[in-house]
Amino acid sequence: MIKEWARTLLVSVFIVGVIAVTAFLSSSFALLIAVIFPMILLITLRPEGSNPSVSVTCDTELIRTEVRKEFDINFNLDLRGPPGIFVLEFPYSSHCSVTTGSNVHVVFCNGSETHRKVTYGVYFLRRGTYPFASVRYKFYPVSGSVKILEGDVPIGLTVEVAPIVRTMQVRLVNLRTEKALPRSIRSVIGPASDEFESIRQYQPGDPYRNINWKATARSASAGNIMVNRYYSEGYESTMVLMDAGFFVQQGSSDENAFEYSVSYALSLSKVLLDYNQEVGISLANPTSRGTQYVLPFSTDPLQFARQLRFFTSSMGEQWHQVDYGLDHDAIVAIKKHYPYVIVTTSLSRLNYAKVVALERSLSPISKKVIVVDILTFGLAARVAGLRPGRTYMENIVLESKKTIHTRVAAYGRLIVWEPVSESIGDIVYRTLREMRM
């Protein structure tokens, strides 16, 4: 079947050819003008229904991966339209890097349907959720005087990039408390014993095996799920309080103290949850002028998945003034669970006084406060020349932050971590030792 644009082209060429032969034989100026006009018409003519059509489909709508882990993105491309060149720009982010292939493709369309499979490899430098809504294209017709067409084709692809989590095998570490809590003290920390305490309404994080079906049936009219509550065996609880303010986000978008603290918090939580310890997470959130109790204490096997989901979808916020004070929910949770509190931050002369005040407020209501000062490579490099022959760590600890660390350590434990020279597994192990677990 001859396409409409092909039929028009053949008719126009035939007409121009007849007129050209007639003009050559008769030597008529008028006929020469008649040749030029159809030629111009032939160049500028764009028949109806000849607009290009672009269809792009992806093999999957959701891709889950990890920071710096390479994966392939596959697209199926269908092109229709008049002869011309398509330039297509497939999804890309400033936080990712193309490793194989290319996300920009040039495809020639000869007037018939063109099918192409596009594959390119990428990896992301930063955690987060990246929605890729469309593929952008430009169409350059063979006839240069015709207007260039451009547009977007919806695809609906989402890439979820999880933070780096390093699991480790704990050795020579006792994960039970050195002194069990008396049975008479009612507490919800740690794994429950078999001794029944009370019945209460279900809360997120409660094990499903604790559901009291008879009590739930009695309260069916109210729509409540009731669970059994048991006395604790005296295991430990841990809260990771993460500084999410201005100072921890200095550096590149993918390498700064806050991004390192995310991997550290998840790796530590993974170890504790594997040993049935309770873990909760709070953020020193600039928008709420205080801490934000984002993930309640739980030993539920799904707790780590909740943490991973939270840090995959939340990119963290940056603000110059951060209030490190505790909000009501965080205070209630800490008093209730009496946990170890681990504060991740990047200490400087502008924020250490607030961190010290936070330590003092936490000390009476928690078992122990541990401050993890995260040193980034950029900060270390700026002071590396203070004393030649010493490492970055020695220069910073002994010179730049000596006074700061002394004052912070007066109210709790202090751990200094430089991710460039010490792995996540090592800092997790040192944290467990400081917790005397």
Instruction: Determine the topology of domain 237-434 in CATH.
Output: Rossmann fold (3.40.50)
When mean pLDDT is compared across 168-177, 189-198, 317-326, 398-407, the lowest value belongs to 168-177
Q: What is the mean pLDDT of residues 113-121?
A: 90
Query: Which of 425, 402, 423, 422 lies closest to 414 in space, CA to CA?
Result: 402
pTM value is 0.69
Q: What is the structure's pLDDT at 385? A: 45
Q: What's the whole-number average pLDDT of the chain?
A: 76
Token digits of residue 17:
């050819």
| Four-point Cα dihedral 420, 422, 423, 424, nearest 10 | -100
Q: Alpha-carbon torsion 218, 221, 224, 225, what sign? A: positive
What is the biggest distance separating any 2 CA atoms in the chain, rounded to whole angstroms? 119
Residue 382: pLDDT band (50, 70, 90) is very low
pLDDT at 123 over 90: yes
pLDDT, tens only, 16-52? 666 666 666 666 666 566 556 655 555 554 444 467 8
Q: What is the structure's pLDDT at 176? A: 47
* 349 burial via Cβ count (<10 Å: 0-12, 13-18, 19+): exposed
Q: What is the mean pLDDT of residues 351-361?
A: 88
Question: What are the boundaries of each domain within the chain?
Answer: 4-36, 53-162, 192-232, 237-434
CA-CA distances (angstroms) from residue 317 to 163, 325, 338? 16, 17, 28
Which helix (H) or strand (E) covers residue 77, if one does?
strand 71-80
Count the neighbouring beta carbons within 10 Å of the beta carbon of residue 9. Answer: 18
Which helix (H) or strand (E) covers residue 37, if one does?
helix 29-44
Question: CB-based contacts of 76: which residues, under 8 Å, 6+ apart?
Answer: 56, 57, 58, 59, 115, 116, 117, 118
Q: What is the mean pLDDT of residues 190-198?
A: 57
pLDDT higher at 405 or 341: 341
When mean pLDDT is compared across 10-24, 105-119, 179-193, 249-263, the lowest value belongs to 179-193
φ, ψ at 129 (rounded to 5°): -110, 120
Q: What is the CATH number of domain 53-162?
A: 2.60.40.10
